[in-house]
Amino acid sequence: MPTTAARVNPKAGGARPQAGGAARPQAARRPAPKARVRRGSESENAAPNGQYTEGVYANRAAKAPAARKPPVAKPPGFKKIASPAPAPAPTRPKKRVAQAPAPAQRPKPVQAPAPAQRPKPKPIARPVKEAPAPAPRASPITTRSATTNSPITTKPTREVRLGRAIVVEPQNGPAVCSILLLHGFACDAKQCASSWKPRLKSMGDLGQRCRLVFLNAPKREISCYPGETPVESAWHDYFTDHGGAGGRPEIEEDIDQNHLAEARKLIHAEIDKEAEKFGGDYRRVALFGESQGGCTALDAATTHPKTIGGVFCSFGQLYSCTPISARSARDLKIVFWHGSRDKTIAASLCLRSAARLLDRGAKKLTLHIEDGLEHCQGSDSEAQCLRKSLENWGFLSGQPETAPEPKSSPVRREPPPTPPSIIKPPGLTPPPRPPRSERATPDPTPPGFSRQQLSREDVEEDVRALISSSDRDEVAMNTISGLYRRKYGRMLDYKSLGFAKMTAFVAEIPGLELVNGAAGGSVRLARAAPHRMIYDDETDSELEGYA
């Protein structure tokens, strides 16, 4: 017998060993089936009290509801509370559909770990202070001129004022006009006055009629020098130094337009102040400037809303950033004075400025370039040009009504020395010239030709022989004189024979006839008339009367 226990068959209700030896073990057993209840009829297995104990009806009877109890009386004021909503029925879980596996992706390259960032410190809560409002600038114009494209920002500038001006009043009576003089770069009003006072005195009565105001530019830091920012008296700042260390005076300098706008505003205020002294007559106010002052004077004169008397620019130019209105170009009187050897502001820049004004319609423009003058080199010709300009502008045209007559100078001036006369040695005095009526008439006969007095008949015979000997039937009238001179060796002097023209003389020669044509026509031998035979019966043909 096998030692292991035989597998029990639940259906047989007992244990039965399998044939062929010991029972085969199984990994899992099947669950026992439920006991089946036999369905019977209504009459079978009925209980005496009407209840079934077996079959389908027994299950139905077990699930039958119990008898309802009688309703209980509710007290007055009782409200029925709504029952909670039934819970939703459980839903059947959906079957999971097997999905195809995703394609294998390439492994991403391993990146180096990012460096650890330092944690930012937390901001410290501090009381907020109101920032002071920035100081208003004098002009919103960019600080770089139109010659370049990249603007340069500068620090906010404080309020700019002009320095103390030097005023020279006229010596005798009130002034007829006022001239505002602007000095050059790195200069001041005192130096400008000391250099121009002697030249102004040489202009005659200019110092007795004009009020001279030497303006003083404010102090500014200059940015064009590398490594240093000196403070100079200047109307504006420079960003480049083409006319200095750059060695290119024909290139326009790059300037601070903000400073130029400030200086323009200040000079406009000075012009208005001077015009008020003449009853608002801006025509009696003029501007003069040299070098940087001349450029600034042109800018102020062309941008002022009123037309002033004139502007004199000495060794300067009109900046390309300066606007020009058609009114100022048409009515403003402008004079340019420059030197041909200027190596700071080349004369070509002055020429470009004049061309720009002419393109805008300038009608009262004068340009003078003196040969051999360098930058800001003084000369008497410049003083005379300024004097002439003031006369053309009407500043010195008339005597003021309330001003007395200018007194004559007490210093007696000696007359200029007379030039030395040419002393002629004795014996070389030419003889006196005879009067015109006794002078001999020059002989018109060319040299090499004889002049003979011939009769008219001889000359006519020579002309007739000349025409007959020609190999042409006709001889041009304008060639007869030349042919006669070459053949006979003398001039055909028809005027001495009493004829004014050659045509009139030839027409009187017998045996010649004139032929009308170009250049006086031509002449030929006269043709003989056809011979006519006259008979006794006064007929010219012996056949006449027999036809």
Helix (H, G, I), strand (E, B) or coil at 370: strand
The whole-number pLDDT of residue 534 equals 55
Where does 456-525 sit in CATH, by number? 3.30.420.610
Q: Which residue has the higher pLDDT, 401 or 238?
A: 238
89-148 confidence digits (pLDDT tens): 666 666 665 666 666 666 666 666 666 677 666 666 666 556 555 544 433 333 344 444
For residue 143, give every residue at least 6 positions away whose Cβ sits within 8 Å of its Cβ, in sequence order, or none. Answer: 151, 152, 153, 154, 256, 257, 258
The whole-number pLDDT of residue 32 equals 58
pTM: 0.48
8: which 2 tokens? 């029990």
User: Would the pLDDT of 545 be above 80?
Assistant: no
Query: Percentage of the chain surpassing pLDDT 90?
Result: 27
User: Would the pLDDT of 83 be above 70?
Assistant: no
Q: Which residue has the higher pLDDT, 417 or 322?
A: 322
Mean pLDDT, residues 515-542: 64
Query: Residue 65: what residue type?
Result: P
402-412 confidence digits (pLDDT tens): 334 444 545 55
Are 345 and 291 in contact, with CB atoms under 8 Å apart?
Answer: yes
Helix (H, G, I), strand (E, B) or coil at 261: helix
Tokens 């004199």, residue located = 312
Domain with CATH 3.40.50.1820 in the chain: 166-392
Domain with CATH 3.30.420.610 in the chain: 456-525
The H or E element that residue 293 is part of is helix 292-303
Are 230 and 221 in contact, with CB atoms under 8 Å apart?
Answer: yes
Mean pLDDT, residues 488-508: 83
Query: Percentage of the chain surpassing pLDDT 70?
Result: 57
User: Would the pLDDT of 265 be above 80?
Assistant: yes
Are 173 and 400 in contact, with CB atoms under 8 Å apart?
Answer: yes
Q: Do the bridges between strand 285-290 and strand 310-314 make them parallel or antiparallel, or are there none, so unpaired?
A: parallel
Mean pLDDT, residues 241-265: 92
> In the structure, what pLDDT confidence band is assigned to residue 521 with cuts at 50, 70 and 90?
confident
425-467 confidence digits (pLDDT tens): 666 667 777 777 676 655 555 555 555 567 888 888 888 888 8
As separate numbers, helices (DSSP H) first and strands (DSSP E) second, the chain gives 11, 14
Instruction: Match domain 166-392 to its CATH number in 2.60.120.200, 3.40.50.1820, 3.40.50.300, 3.40.50.10470.
Output: 3.40.50.1820
d(CA 403, CA 253): 46
User: Would the pLDDT of 17 be above 60?
Assistant: no
How many other CB atoms are there within 10 angstroms of residue 367's CB atom? 18
User: Would the pLDDT of 151 be above 50?
Assistant: no
Query: Residue 222: what residue type?
Result: I
d(CA 451, CA 484): 13
> In the structure, what pLDDT confidence band is assigned to residue 276 with cuts at 50, 70 and 90?
very high
**R_g of the chain, CA atoms, integer Å:** 66
d(CA 268, CA 282): 11
